[in-house]
């Protein structure tokens, strides 16, 4: 009997190869293992709209086995429940059932269930109904963590929200009338990585006017996020960088209900939102209590002595998850439960 955790860890490694290319779909990895623990084939979801992990894994097995059927029972490991619906591709559960004899598949081991309402347990039901043994919940926490944005969209009907800002040692994020550079070239790259990890990025009117940011990802692999601007009375001119043709920009009037904005983003299948400023917007979101992570970059050598106060939350930002030193700056990551 193969070691379930070990093979599921490999599925997670494979799934991660799809990072930056599959959003808003989940990252998924799959592999086929025989009773002796030999991996017969591997597959992962490589890009949005492309074949699912299970399809790539089974296709690879058919190619490698070249018409031969494995003589010992085979287990399919997959980090997410196989799908049961016709989307951009036909249901993976049906494919597994149809290939079951040829590949001698006896068992399917699943990491986490799929909370997409189109699947939601139906994939597992189909497999069990066809007489395949299904084991669920193997490294479930890790599998859910990997696709935290995907699960947030389907379970909470809103994007996963990450708040991010940089502040001086004395707690200021900038001056009211001009741009202050608190980050360093290395932390700038980390910010671009965050932009690549999240499907959208939001700023308020003042940040768009004072900093005139492009809000693109030019220092990491992957795509540019969709830019979201909260703009009272259309104060930001179309000639500003936020409207550059490099990416899409969505504008909401900033008296729009926050709940409406979140559900509108979810309706557009945007599974993650990175909020980069300014202080008013960040404080407003902190006050709602609806956010998932807070990333604060502190420049320990910079003292501004005046300016715009860094955002605050009387309830705190959550649990300190990580403290990273990036050149001279420190990046604190909080996870809000
Ligand atoms: C993936 N990759 O490996 C698996 C997914 O539009 P479709 O046909 O690509 O279907 C997307 C849904 O399929 C997705 O939301 C998830 O519920 C399910 N499983 N999706 O992109 C995969 N296994
Ligand atoms: Zn599928």
Average pLDDT score over residue span 314-319: 92
CA geometry: angle 198, 254, 226, nearest 5 deg: 25
Confidence of residue 37 (pLDDT cuts 50, 70, 90): very high
Question: Which SS3 state, helix, strand or coil, does residue 76 take?
Answer: strand
Pick 232 or 268 by higher pLDDT. 268
**Separation of CA 82 and ligand 2 centre (Å):** 5
Q: Tens of pLDDT along 119-177?
A: 899 999 999 999 999 999 999 999 999 999 999 999 999 999 999 999 999 999 998 87
- pLDDT in the model for residue 176: 82
Gap between the Cα atoms of 222 and 97, Å rounded: 35
Query: Which ligand is nearest to the Cα of residue 57, counting in written order?
Result: 1
Query: Which ligand is nearest to the Cα of residue 114, counting in written order?
Result: 1
Q: Is residue 2 predicted with pLDDT exceeding 80?
A: no
What is the Cα Rg of the chain in Å? 23
- pLDDT in the model for residue 255: 79
Q: Give the mean pLDDT of the chain.
A: 95
CA 331, chain centre distance (Å): 20
Gap between the Cα atoms of 58 and 96, Å rounded: 8
- 272-277 and 293-299 strand pairing: unpaired
- pLDDT in the model for residue 314: 86
Of the CA atoms within 13 Å of residue 243, those in its CB half-sphere come to 12
Our answer on whether the CB atom of 90 is closer than 6 Å to any ligand 1 atom is no
Contacts (Cβ under 8 Å, ≥6 apart) of 156: none
Our answer on whether the CB atom of 149 is closer than 6 Å to any ligand 1 atom is no
Q: Is residue 1 predicted with pLDDT exceeding 70?
A: no
**Separation of CA 330 and ligand 1 centre (Å):** 37
Average pLDDT score over residue span 288-315: 95
Our answer on whether the CB atom of 132 is closer than 6 Å to any ligand 1 atom is no
Gap between the Cα atoms of 158 and 259, Å rounded: 9
Gap between the Cα atoms of 299 and 302, Å rounded: 6
Q: Is residue 33 predicted with pLDDT exceeding 90?
A: yes
Is 137 in contact with 106 (CB distance < 8 Å)? no
For the CA atoms of 84, 85, 86, 88, the dihedral, rounded to the nearest 10 degrees, stands at -90
Q: Is residue 317 predicted with pLDDT exceeding 80?
A: yes
Confidence of residue 49 (pLDDT cuts 50, 70, 90): very high
Average pLDDT score over residue span 323-336: 97
Q: What percent of the chain has pLDDT over 70?
A: 99
Lowest mean pLDDT among 161-165, 176-180, 246-250: 176-180
- pLDDT in the model for residue 80: 98
Q: Is residue 79 predicted with pLDDT exceeding 60?
A: yes
Our answer on whether the CB atom of 293 is closer than 6 Å to any ligand 1 atom is no
Gap between the Cα atoms of 202 and 215, Å rounded: 9
Distances (CA, A) of 245 to 74, 106, 115, 238: 50, 52, 35, 11
Average pLDDT score over residue span 203-207: 94
Q: Tens of pLDDT along 220-244?
A: 999 999 999 999 889 999 999 999 9
pTM of the model: 0.95
Output DSSP code: residue 239: T
Is 229 in contact with 249 (CB distance < 8 Å)? yes
Q: What percent of the chain has pLDDT over 90?
A: 91
Gap between the Cα atoms of 173 and 182, Å rounded: 8
| Positive or negative: CA dihedral 141, 192, 182, 207 | negative
Q: Is residue 254 predicted with pLDDT exceeding 80?
A: no
Q: Is residue 102 among the annotated active site residues? A: no
Using the structure block, give the residue that is written with the tokens 């779909």.
25
- pLDDT in the model for residue 315: 87
């Amino acid at each position: 009997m193969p070691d379930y955790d070990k093979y599921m860890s490999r599925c997670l490694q494979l799934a991660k190869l799809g990072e930056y290319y599959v959003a808003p779909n989940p990252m998924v990895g799959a592999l086929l293992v025989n009773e002796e623990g030999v991996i017969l084939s591997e597959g992962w979801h490589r890009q949005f709209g492309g074949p699912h992990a299970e399809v790539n894994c089974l296709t690879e097995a058919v190619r490698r086995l070249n018409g031969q059927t494995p003589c010992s029972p085979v287990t399919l490991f997959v980090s997410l429940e196989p799908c049961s619906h016709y989307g951009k591709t036909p249901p993976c559960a049906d494919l597994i059932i149809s290939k079951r004899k040829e590949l001698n598949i006896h068992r399917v081991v699943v990491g986490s269930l799929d909370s997409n309402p189109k699947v939601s347990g139906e994939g597992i039901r189909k497999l069990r109904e066809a007489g395949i043994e299904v084991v669920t919940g193997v490294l479930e926490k890790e599998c859910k963590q990997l696709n935290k944005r995907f699960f947030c969209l389907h379970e909470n009907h809103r994007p996963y929200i990450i708040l991010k800002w940089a502040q001086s040692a004395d707690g200021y994020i900038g001056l009211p009338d001009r741009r202050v550079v608190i980050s360093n070239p290395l932390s700038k790259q980390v910010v671009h990585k965050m932009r690549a990890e999240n499907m959208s990025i939001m700023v308020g009117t003042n940040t768009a006017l004072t900093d005139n940011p492009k809000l693109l990802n030019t220092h990491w692999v992957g795509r540019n996020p969709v830019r979201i601007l909260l703009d009272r009375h259309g104060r930001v001119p179309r000639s500003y960088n936020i409207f550059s043709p490099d990416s899409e920009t969505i504008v909401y009037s900033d008296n729009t209900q926050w709940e409406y904005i979140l559900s509108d983003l979810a309706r557009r299948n945007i599974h993650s939102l990175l909020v980069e400023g300014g202080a008013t917007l960040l404080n407003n979101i902190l006050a709602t209590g609806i956010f998932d992570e807070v990333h604060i970059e502190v420049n320990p050598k910079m003292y501004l002595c005046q300016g715009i106060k860094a955002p605050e939350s009387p309830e705190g930002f959550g649990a300190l998850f990580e403290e990273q030193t990036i050149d001279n700056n420190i990046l604190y990551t909080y996870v809000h439960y």
